[in-house]
Amino acid sequence: MSDKKFICDRMLKRLAVWLRLSGYDTLCDEVLERVNPRKEDTYLVENFADRILLTRDRELYERRKLKGMPVKLVKSSNVGEQLKEVSELGIRIFPVMKRCTVCNSELRKPTEEEILEVAERENLGEHILKKDLWYCENCKKLYWVGGHWKNMVKFLKKHDLI
């Protein structure tokens, strides 16, 4: 896996989720919420020199490129096609248990206490205890390989990404 890092504009939220699912450090609207919306483009042009900005906005793309900052213009509005476009950057799109899709934090193994706390709060039932679990400390959320995972793999196959 490459160590590329990303920041997605607000139009690419679903793409950001897929990049996180694939283990890539990807920021999106959670960092933009702190910025005055009128200054958002300038903020994206001038910051995050260590991240590739993924954007559907050609003007934003040109401005960042002019500054010599890493950027890729995403052309499609379809997330399957978008994934193909970003895979040209040499990254692998495939779900791995590494990052929280909600907040981008790195996942870790939960303690027994944490499992029980989430299981009770979210009414997960006993079967959860038998799963191989991962945990987001920030969201207090558990992750495991389930039906959703199989659907993701199906989606990637359908789009010729794996």
Interface contacts to Zn ion, rule CB under 5 A: 100, 102-103, 105, 136, 138-139
Which CB atom, from 96 or from 103, has the smaller least distance to Zn ion? 103
CA gap 4, 53 in Å, rounded: 11
Number of continuous H segments (helices) and E segments (strands) in the chain: 7, 6
Which CB atom, from 78 or from 138, has the smaller least distance to Zn ion? 138
Q: How far is the CB of 162 from Zn ion (least distance, A)?
A: 25
Q: How far is the CB of 46 from Zn ion (least distance, A)?
A: 27
| Structure letter (DSSP) for residue 89 | T
Which CB atom, from 85 or from 114, has the smaller least distance to Zn ion? 114
Q: How far is the CB of 109 from Zn ion (least distance, A)?
A: 15
Q: How far is the CB of 125 from Zn ion (least distance, A)?
A: 22
Cα–Cα distances (Å) from 62 to 11, 85, 120, in that order, read 17, 18, 50
Which CB atom, from 32 or from 73, has the smaller least distance to Zn ion? 32
CA gap 102, 48 in Å, rounded: 20
Nearest residue to 5 (alpha-carbon basis) of 69, 80, 81, 76: 69
